[in-house]
């Protein structure tokens, strides 16, 4: 004869099933919860940090040197000075700053280079100074019309360009060299290229 079930045994059978469902729900929350939260944060733009770790203007649209009218290549990180007009005092100060920043990189100095892109010929005096004091400075031609269309201003700028030729950060002529050096060191630390 089969043993009779008592009313107390029925809830015991349902208890393991309920515990299993609870465990499944918890596992799904642990796995899917962060993805749902991250997607919601991205789409609804909440809990997004306001601070930033860089000092220049971030160029996050995939533009390259050629997109702003500068023809040239280098397989290293580059401090590029652009001058859509004559390379006057502000431009010359940025050229000096670019070289000093490269030297300031210390043991990583060989991972970066410095360059000047101009649309107009340099004066004879400044050309002589560059030949004498900046022997490693690379020089590129600059298409002023294309540059003005993309950048929107005639002032000289200092750019950090990655080894693939993509523009990363842009600085104006009044930039603090320490800030650029900090940004470039941070990029070199994060990067395995160049």
Are 117 and 72 in contact by the 8 Å Cβ rule? The answer is yes
3-state secondary structure of 160: strand
The whole-number pLDDT of residue 159 equals 96
Compute CA distances 140 → 30, 51, 91, 137, 156, whole Å: 54, 35, 14, 10, 14
User: Which class does domain 57-190 fall in?
Assistant: alpha beta
CA distance 108 to 126: 28
* pLDDT tens-digit readout, 103-127: 999 999 999 999 999 999 999 999 9
In degrees to the nearest 10, what's the CA dihedral of 60, 65, 66, 69? 110
Q: Which of 5-9, 39-43, 170-174 has the lowest mean pLDDT?
A: 5-9
HSE (CB half, 13 Å, CA atoms) of 5? 7
| Cβ atoms 97, 177 nearer than 8 A | yes
Q: What confidence score (pLDDT) does residue 6 get?
A: 54
Confidence of residue 5 (pLDDT cuts 50, 70, 90): low
């Amino acid at each position: 004869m089969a043993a009779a079930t008592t009313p107390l045994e029925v809830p015991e059978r349902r208890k393991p099933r309920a515990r299993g469902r609870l465990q499944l729900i918890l596992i799904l929350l642990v796995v899917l919860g962060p993805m749902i939260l991250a997607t919601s944060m991205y789409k609804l733009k909440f809990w997004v940090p306001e601070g930033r770790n860089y000092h220049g203007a971030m160029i996050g649209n995939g533009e390259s040197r050629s997109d702003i009218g500068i023809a040239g290549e280098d397989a290293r990180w580059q401090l590029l000075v652009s001058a859509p007009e004559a390379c006057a005092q502000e431009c010359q100060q940025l050229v000096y700053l670019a070289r000093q920043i490269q030297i300031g990189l210390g043991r990583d100095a060989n991972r970066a280079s410095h360059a000047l892109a101009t649309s107009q010929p340099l004066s004879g005096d400044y050309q002589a100074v560059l030949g004498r004091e900046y022997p490693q400075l690379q020089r590129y031609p600059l298409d002023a019309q294309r540059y003005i269309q993309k950048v929107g201003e005639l002032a000289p700028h200092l750019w950090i360009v990655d080894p693939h030729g993509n523009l990363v950060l842009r600085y104006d002529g009044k930039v603090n060299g320490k800030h650029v050096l900090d940004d470039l060191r941070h990029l070199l630390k994060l990067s395995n290229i160049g």
